[in-house]
Amino acid sequence: MAAVTVEFPENLTLAKLDPALRQLATELGCEIRLGANRTYKVVPREKNVVRLPVRLRQINQPGPGAA
């Protein structure tokens, strides 16, 4: 596999990446993932995987001292 290193400022997050870069990864059949040492890797997209949307929900836990 070929490797290309692109350095971005430390404050750059995956959400802030240039949409053209994300679109390029999609066109190549890949996705961008956060790797070790805050590096991003472009990896082949897994086949036959259905990703469900994430919904945040509140978790109710009893307070301290509750029985």
Q: Which residues contact 33 (CB under 8 A, 6 or more apart)?
A: 40, 41, 42, 43
- Whether 62 is in a domain gets the answer no
Is pLDDT at 67 greater than 70 in this prediction?
A: no
pLDDT tens for each residue of 4-59: 777 778 787 767 777 878 888 888 888 888 777 767 788 888 777 677 777 877 77
Q: Residue 46: what pLDDT?
A: 77
Q: Count of domains in the chain?
A: 1
Residue 19 tokens, joined: 């949409």
* Residue 29 lies in domain: 14-44
